């Protein structure tokens, strides 16, 4: 099997070519680093080109997933955690649906359209809740959620 170079945010890695680019992306996009953060692919060297909407949606889902996880963790450290309860819950829901949406996209699931529609809805709800709070992590999460919702809508349009 041929090897392809993959440049990740945390260094260069080589992987074996299996069933095309999408399987490789799934393998590395959900690989966690030593700090437990998601390692997003920055560039694929020598990989096939992808549909732009698909690429943007997948990237938005993974970035939103990470933003929600960061916000979730930061909310747990806030003084008034009770006030942050809805934000914390929605961060979890949003991160989970974004991860699931990315997985369904990479495996060409017949349910991708419905899942992306739900992902857009959950992202909007999370953005609305995060926007209520002045914390930087909430504002960054709200922005990422809005971008993801829009990318999901564009993908199913």
25-54 per-position pLDDT tens digit: 444 444 433 333 333 333 333 344 457 888
Residues 38, 58, single domain; the answer is: no
* Angle of the 85-106 helix axis to the 112-131 helix axis, nearest 10: 150
- In angstroms, the CA 121 to CA 57 distance is 14
Residues 29, 86, single domain; the answer is: no
Pick 22 or 12 by higher pLDDT: 22
Residues 67, 35, single domain; the answer is: no
113-122 per-position pLDDT tens digit: 999 999 999 9
Residues 34, 103, single domain; the answer is: no
Residues 13, 90, single domain; the answer is: no
- In angstroms, the CA 139 to CA 97 distance is 20
Q: Are 5 and 21 in contact (CB under 8 A)?
A: no
Residues 121, 141, single domain; the answer is: yes
74-87 per-position pLDDT tens digit: 999 999 989 999 99
Sheet with strand 3-8: strands edge to edge: 11-16, 3-8, 41-44
**Average pLDDT value over all residues in the chain:** 78
Residues 71, 17, single domain; the answer is: no
Q: What are phi and psi of 30, to 5 degrees?
A: -110, 10
* Confidence band of 15 (pLDDT split at 50, 70, 90): very low
Q: Are 98 and 65 in contact (CB under 8 A)?
A: yes
Neighbours of 45 (CB within 10 A): 9
Residues 61, 137, single domain; the answer is: yes
Q: What is the CATH number of the domain that holds 96?
A: 1.20.1270.360
Residues 57, 102, single domain; the answer is: yes
Tokens representing residue 133 in the block: 């709070």
Neighbours of 116 (CB within 10 A): 24
Q: How many distinct structural domains can be found in the chain?
A: 2
Q: What is the pLDDT of residue 73?
A: 96
Owning domain of residue 28: 3-44
Q: What is the pLDDT of residue 35?
A: 36
Residues 60, 98, single domain; the answer is: yes
């Amino acid at each position: 099997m041929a090897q392809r170079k993959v440049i990740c945010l945390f260094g260069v890695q080589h992987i074996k070519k299996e069933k095309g680019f999408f399987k490789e992306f799934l393998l590395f996009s959900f690989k966690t680093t030593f700090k437990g953060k998601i390692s997003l692919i920055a560039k694929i060297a020598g990989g096939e080109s992808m549909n732009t909407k698909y690429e943007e949606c997948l990237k938005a889902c993974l970035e939103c997933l990470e933003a929600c996880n960061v916000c979730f963790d930061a909310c747990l450290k806030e003084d008034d955690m009770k006030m942050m309860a809805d934000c914390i819950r929605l961060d979890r829901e949003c991160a989970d649906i974004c991860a699931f949406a990315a997985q369904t996209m990479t495996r060409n699931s017949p349910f991708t359209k419905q899942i992306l529609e739900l992902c857009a809805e959950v992202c909007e709800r999370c953005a609305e809740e995060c926007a209520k709070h002045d914390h930087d992590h909430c504002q960054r999460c709200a922005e990422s959620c809005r971008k993801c919702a829009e990318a999901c809508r564009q993908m199913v349009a």
